[in-house]
Amino acid sequence: MLVLDSVENVQEMIRMWRKDGDVIGFVPTMGFLHDGHLSLVRAAKSQCERAVVSIFVNPTQFGPGEDLDAYPRDMEHDVALLEKEGVDLVFAPKPETMYARDHSTVVIVQGLSHVLAGEHRPTHFAGVTSVVAKLFNIVRPDKSYFGQKDFQQVKIIERMVRDLNFRTQVIMMPIVREPDGLAMSSRNTYLTPEQRRQALILSQSVKWAEKTHAAGETDVQKIITTVTQMIRAAGPDLEIKYVTVVNPKTLEPVAKVGRGAVLLIEVYVGKTRLYDNVIF
């Protein structure tokens, strides 16, 4: 497995593989890998001749006062996991490699980036789309893999790919959960034991909504109200940012819970931001 930090070296390797006709799968990450990330890697390995993973804690997607410096990192462990999975190349650039001192170009997906999480994190998704656009230009993947847990992020990247004619297929993989149901996230390590106990209400409320809809419930307000009440009753450390049911393409609220609609939840557990969702 190659571990490279140079854009030029990565591009040269990609050119060699393309000459051989290899299909290239790509998983962009910020490292501190868990089984959620590895499910994306396994999909890339099974569907493509070459699997590339990037590890880069992207500073431009962190707002003022957010956890850039505290974000968990363990490069040695990450590399060992990826080598075990049979990854072909790990791209692990330094910030100065990705961003020139006077860099001034930003990629913004209007509309989708400014609702839901974008309302209280106004610069976040511009940082995400800008770095993913750069990574797509460097790796030139045929297929790119993202996790459903970050549903809004996936929809924004899909729109960017369409609008800017990137030649990659965006593939969203299902949420991977801990044995207790909590959606896997690198930020779960921030939780105290008591906060983790309270955080389980996210997956529990999502499961309740899924079962309720399967039993025939289509009233959006009833589902939102009940899920909100469940979360509020679960503990004092929980702060709801939103509970909503949206159209999966536009992220606009729907009037009725139909097939394909998505329940999205963002909750702060203490200072830790967690997401969960279900596609009905």
- Residues with catalytic function: 37
Q: Which two tokens stand for residue 195?
A: 């906060």
The helix (H) or strand (E) run that includes residue 9 is: helix 7-19
Residue 130 one-letter amino acid: S
SS3 171: strand
Specify the pairing of strand 262-269 against strand 238-246. antiparallel
Residues 61 and 128 sit within 8 Å (Cβ to Cβ): yes
- Residues across the chain: 280
DSSP string, 150-175: GHHHHHHHHHHHHHHT-S-EEEEEPP
Rg over alpha carbons for the chain, rounded to the nearest Å, is: 19
Q: What is the DSSP letter of 115?
A: S
Give the Cα-Cα-Cα angle 259, 265, 270 (nearest 5 degrees): 165
Task: For residue 91, give the amino acid letter.
Answer: F
E strand or H helix at 216: none
Give the number of other CB atoms < 10 A from CB of residue 139.
25
Measuring CA to CA, which residue among 188, 176, 180, 200 is closest to residue 37?
176
Rounded Cα gap, residues 33 and 248, in angstroms: 27
